[in-house]
Amino acid sequence: MARRNSSSNSGGFLFKTGIFAALAGLAFFLFNQFGGKKSNQPIDEKPPIEISNGQPKTDVGTPQPPTESQVPEEIFPAASGEVVRHTWYTLGYSEDHEQAEWVAYELTRDHLNENWAERPNSFRPDPEVDTESATPRDYNSSGYDKGHLCPAADMAFDAAAIDETFFMSNMSPQVPAFNMGIWRELEELTRDWARRFNHLYVVTGPVLSQPGLGQIGFSKVTVPSYYYKVLLAPDQQKAIAFILPNQVSEKRVTDYACSIDKVENATGIDFFPRVLKGLGEELEGSLDKDAWPINSKRYQERVKVWNVKR
């Protein structure tokens, strides 16, 4: 009986020792799996925190638009300021006024006949302006529209092209009834004329040489008193220009038509110096309104609807 008791006690001791060893081994395994990796890092090191800047992430796999400018340099005006080239339009930026003093591009019938891309409304600073452009916030509660100089509809033939028109360097503070009224009518007429003549060279911008209507925003964006648009049909050797006050108007667009020379005198900018040479320079002092017909129905819609819509 004594031997049986000794053997039973010895077996129980070994059994308990085995259980303890198994538990210790399990604890060591769990520590290595879940706790051991942290021992290689400094105590105060934390994983990096991703801070959102409020902008959507860019998919690096998304095809990017061509960066080479498609605007022929010979249509650039001679003026001061930083020249900023985008794919389908080029501008001369005035840091003193935080906007473009001119925007130049070619408008073609083929592009206008393309299916229109969706309007993005992606207003944002222009990263190509060395001195930094104005921002959308400058226009907040100002009472003025972010008026396009190169219209979005002129670049609607391509999604990347229309998106470029929403850089703030292409914006200028416009009275809402002007932006949605006579300025809109002139933009639509310009597209009519581009279809008529096959293609146009267009230069447009604010008249910054004249006293403005004040400034807006932290960037102190000048509010222009007048805007101009200069159009040249090179194949037909026809030209026309306009100077319009930044206000609601019930006059016909052609009441504001003038020669290129008049816009040059008002702005101090030399338009198409490389194109209008020799006999072509005569176009700068001429004005033939009959060569640029207008749509009377659109004029009536502007006066009765667009002028009072906002």
Between strands 199-206 and 99-108, the pairing is: antiparallel
Secondary structure (DSSP) of 209-222: TS--S-EETTTTEE
Q: Catalytic annotation on 86?
A: no
Residue whose tokens read 């929403």: 166
Closest among 143, 154, 222 to 186, alpha carbons compared: 154
Structure-block tokens of residue 290: 């009959």
Closest among 190, 155, 152 to 295, alpha carbons compared: 190
Secondary structure (DSSP) of 175-226: -HHHHTTHHHHHHHHHHHHHHHHSEEEEEEEE-TTS--S-EETTTTEE--SE
Q: How many CA atoms lie within 13 A of 206 on its CB side?
A: 30
SS3 (DSSP) at 81 = coil
As a whole number of Å, the CA-based R_g of the chain is 34
The catalytic position among 86, 97, 111, 148 is 148
Q: Which long-range contacts (CB under 8 A, 24 or more apart) does 139-143 make?
A: 139/171, 139/173, 139/216, 139/217, 139/221, 140/217, 142/173, 142/216, 142/217, 143/176
CA dist., res. 164 & res. 155, Å (int)? 9
- For residue 230, give every residue at least 6 positions away whose Cβ sits within 8 Å of its Cβ, in sequence order, or none: 202, 203, 204, 239, 240, 241, 242, 260, 263, 271, 272
Q: What does the DSSP 8-state code read for residue 165?
A: T
Closest among 231, 228, 225, 214 to 267, alpha carbons compared: 228
* Residues noted as catalytic: 148
